[in-house]
Amino acid sequence: MISTTTRMACSVRDLKKEYVLKGETVRALRGVFFDVPEGDYVAIMGPSGSGKSTLLNMLGCLDQPTSGQLLLGDDDVATMSDDQLAEVRSRRIGFVFQSYNLIQQLSVVENIQVPLFYQGKLGKKENDRCIELAHMVGLDGRLSHRPNQLSGGQQQRVAIARSLVNDPYFILADEPTGNLDSRTTEEILQLFHRLNNEGRTIILVTHEDEVAKRAKRVVRLKDGVVQWDRLNSEDARREAAEHAFRNLPVES
Amino acid sequence: MFVMWYRTLQLGIKSLWLHPMRSLLTMLGIFIGVASVIWLLAISEGISLEAQRQIASLGADTIIIRSVKPPSEKLSPQGVTPYGLKRDELDMLVSTIPTIRSALPIREIRRQFQYENVTIDGRLVGCTPEYANVTRLKIESGNFITDAENFRRENVCVLAAKVADRLFPGKNPINKRVYVPESKDFYRVIGILQHRNASAAIGGSLAAQDFSNDIYIPIRTLQQRIGDTVAMRRGGSFEGEIIELNQITLITRSIEEVKTTAALVENALTGHEDLQDIAVVVPLELLEQARTTRMMFMIFMGLVAAISLVVGGIGIMNIMLATVTERTREIGIRRALGAKRSDIVRQFLVETIVLSVVGGASGIVAGVICNPAISLARDIIKDRFPQTFAALPEVVQKLTPTIVPESIPIAFGISVVVGVIFGLYPAIRAAKMSPIEALRHE
């Protein structure tokens, strides 16, 4: 399995979550275990109703488990107050959403800056870093555009730049390619690949096998527990990338 | 911390700027509220200052006693009942009440005046030289009546400005003689007065007086030439009137003694209870009454303005609640990216404060230009609709609003407070949303 000498970006220990919905208790998570070491690239899969979204909300510190532990670094998120959770979100997590979730009235650079804003970091240095990140994800020349002036792929790049701005413990991507065509999907997946090669930890929630195959490791949930947890071999990943590349529509 | 607020402010302005029309309309409520506070207070202050000025022009250190025509059922059907103040009473008051510095008797009779072929209706006023001081008359040319002229019962007169204009158009009236046909007398003009404003009716006991048709003569002259009995032609029949003095103005030694003196005077003037033929007016008391009225007025106006500010505040709250709903997703994104509840509260609170402060500040600007705005409106009405203008009450015609300095910071403060109070609820509601729910919101 995973070497214990590596530092963990996050560890999930016997995580349970129950909701009360119309008088009935729904057990969304029934004891989930897994670790994400730093530098890992995990795809979380599972059919709808498997507890995928619930786990995502836990990992993103947007919700708290009924029982169990969720360690981000050394801290157990399960027992934190609302303000502490907000603090953790702004410092340790980089969100990428399916629908990009950019703030419409802000420019590209301002959107990238939002997590820093809530850390109270508003200086020139931070601004420069945001511009640098925008360049890094390939948005040169669009720094002061508004989200509605950008294509879906470009918006997702802004979101990825935003997720990197606070140097998070991990990037948490929720179906990041769900709204994109196959060409743009490929671009975004390549960007993730590059970031992972640079040492970024990525947790990606998806229901697409093609996307999951590109990750280093796949965790599959079913009925609120981990059904299996497998590593993708380097060959399989390369194979999947080449396959995707070959099947790209011919540019007209 | 400061930078945080500053950036939140920038953000707020940016968000408001996204919907300029909506923001403008939202501000309108506060704008109207603040402007109306300032306007209403300025107008009521203007009216009250004018009233106080008129009362003060009667002299705060004086007591005015007027003869009042008794109700007709109290007069005997046959003959003519004498009524009003007596000369004896004047002497009695002056000699028995030590706090009276001096006394000014006045006798007024409606008469016709003639010079060459011009005849006008006017009022013959018998008075003493004191009259000029007490009523603060300004002499245009010549002199007012002197003690010697009064003592020697000379046939001299002083004309009001309008009388001089009408009787002597284009001529210098000094030393010319005005003829009074009813008593077949001539009076030599010794002085002309500057224009004098009419006095408004005050407190019901003092009728409005128009001084523009007055001719002033020594009271002793009037007493000798005309006497106390006056015949007046009214509707074809003659009507008589026996009256010694129309008015006595008592000047006290100091303002502090006015009230005690007034009480003494009312006690001393016995024998008038039956006919109710005199009225004692104390301008000082009227002045104090006017000040109380002013307070009442201010409170009332303040209340009206407060209501309009509350309405404005509700408008703000309404819009902010809609905005919060509309921006639920943005709130979710911000929360996911690390915004605390307090950050969200701050963001929305700043927006409402910006709305109400900008609305309030522009309201102050609109409030401060109250005076020129009213003069402009008055000039336009005067030019375009002269009849309408003439029909307006005098208070409206002459209205000069006086801005109450305190109303500006008060109005501004209230608008900020309204912004905070009515912004707090939407802001808290925004902050209380679960980030997961908010992110799911379409």
| CATH code (residue A117) | 3.40.50.300
Please report which confidence band the pLDDT of residue B156 belongs to, taking 50, 70 and 90 as the band edges: very high
The residue of chain B with its CA nearest to that of A63 is B436
The residue of chain B with its CA nearest to that of A110 is B11
Question: Residue A91: inside a domain, yes or no?
Answer: yes
Residue A203 in 3-state DSSP?
strand
Does the pLDDT at position B417 exceed 50? yes
> Which residues constitute the domain of residue A47?
39-65+81-246
Tokens 């309030």 locate to B360
Enter the tokens of residue B83: 């009524």
Please report which confidence band the pLDDT of residue B236 belongs to, taking 50, 70 and 90 as the band edges: low
Q: How, if at all, do strands A217-222 and A41-45 pair?
A: parallel
Nearest-CB residue to A101 (from B15, B340, B439)? B439
Nearest-CB residue to A95 (from B18, B337, B341)? B337
Is A215 in contact with A232 (CB distance < 8 Å)? yes
> What is the sign, positive or negative, of the torsion defined by CA atoms of A136, A139, A141, A147?
negative
Is B126 in contact with B279 (CB distance < 8 Å)? no
The residue of chain B with its CA nearest to that of A114 is B337
Does the pLDDT at position B235 exceed 70? no
> What is the reported pLDDT for A1?
47
Helices (H) and strands (E) in chain A, counts: 8, 10
> What is the reported pLDDT for B390?
80
> What is the reported pLDDT for A56?
92
**Chain B residues in contact with A119 (beta carbon < 8 A):** 338
> What is the sign, positive or negative, of the torsion defined by CA atoms of A132, A133, A139, A143?
negative
Question: Residue A251: inside a domain, yes or no?
Answer: no
pLDDT in tens, A72-126: 988 898 889 999 999 999 999 999 999 999 998 899 999 999 999 888 887 889 8
Does the pLDDT at position B195 exceed 50? yes
What's the one-letter identity of residue A224?
A: G
CA nearest A96: which of A17, A175, A10, A213?
A175
**Chain A residues in contact with B341 (beta carbon < 8 A):** 82-83, 86
Does the pLDDT at position B28 exceed 50? yes
Question: Residue A229: inside a domain, yes or no?
Answer: yes
- How much is the ipTM here? 0.92
Degrees, nearest 5: CA angle A167-A169-A173: 90
DSSP calls for B202-271: BTTTB--B-GGGEEEEEHHHHHHHT-SEEEEEETTEEEEEEESBSEEEEEES-GGGHHHHHHHHHHH--S
pLDDT in tens, B108-135: 988 889 998 889 999 999 999 988 888 8
**Where does a domain end: B228, B247, B276?**
B276
> Which residues constitute the domain of residue B166?
69-276
What mean pLDDT comes out for the span B139-162?
A: 91
Does the pLDDT at position B285 exceed 90? no
**Chain A residues in contact with B337 (beta carbon < 8 A):** 89-90, 95, 114-115, 118, 162
Question: Residue A161: inside a domain, yes or no?
Answer: yes
> What is the reported pLDDT for B171?
87
Structural domains of chain B, count: 2
Give the least confident one: A5-9, B346-350, B376-380. Answer: A5-9
| Cα end-to-end span (Å), chain A | 46
pTM: 0.72
- B30 and B77: one domain? no
Return all residues near A62 (Cβ < 8 A) that are at least 6 apart: A85, A89, B335, B336, B435, B436, B439
Is B420 in contact with B352 (CB distance < 8 Å)? yes
Is B222 in contact with B109 (CB distance < 8 Å)? yes
Residue B104 in 3-state DSSP?
strand
Give the least confident one: A188-197, B66-75, B231-240, B244-253. Answer: B231-240
- B141 and B239: one domain? yes
> What is the reported pLDDT for B157?
94
How many Å apart are CA B242 and CA B258, to the nearest integer? 30
- B20 and B135: one domain? no
Query: Does the CB of A122 have a partner CB in chain B at under 8 Å?
Result: yes
CA-CA distances (angstroms) from residue B208 to A188, B102, B201, B204? 90, 24, 4, 9
* CB spacing of B342 vs A115 below 8 angstroms: no
Tokens 């169990």 locate to A68
- B222 and B330: one domain? no
* CB spacing of B337 vs A87 below 8 angstroms: no
Does the pLDDT at position B234 exceed 80? no
The residue of chain A with its CA nearest to that of B329 is A101
> What is the reported pLDDT for A251?
63
* CB spacing of B336 vs A91 below 8 angstroms: no
Is A145 in contact with A94 (CB distance < 8 Å)? no
- B265 and B294: one domain? no
* CB spacing of A115 vs B340 below 8 angstroms: no
Nearest-CB residue to B336 (from A60, A82, A166)? A60
Question: Residue B178: inside a domain, yes or no?
Answer: yes
* CB spacing of B339 vs A105 below 8 angstroms: no
What mean pLDDT comes out for the span B157-161?
A: 92
Q: Which of A134-148, B80-94, B399-413 is most confident?
A: A134-148
* CB spacing of B341 vs A86 below 8 angstroms: yes
Question: Residue A71: inside a domain, yes or no?
Answer: no
Nearest-CB residue to B338 (from A97, A102, A115)? A115
User: Which residues in chain A come in under a pLDDT of 50?
Assistant: 1-3
Structural domains of chain A, count: 1
**Chain B residues in contact with A60 (beta carbon < 8 A):** 336
How many Å apart are CA B210 and CA B113, to the nearest integer? 17
**Where does a domain end: B243, B276, B309?**
B276
Does the pLDDT at position B31 exceed 60? yes
**Where does a domain end: B276, B309, B341?**
B276
Q: Maximum CA pair distance of chain A?
A: 55
CA nearest B360: which of B32, B17, B1?
B32
How many Å apart are CA B428 and CA B158, to the nearest integer? 77
Question: Residue A32: inside a domain, yes or no?
Answer: no
Question: Residue A75: inside a domain, yes or no?
Answer: no
**Chain B residues in contact with A82 (beta carbon < 8 A):** 340-341
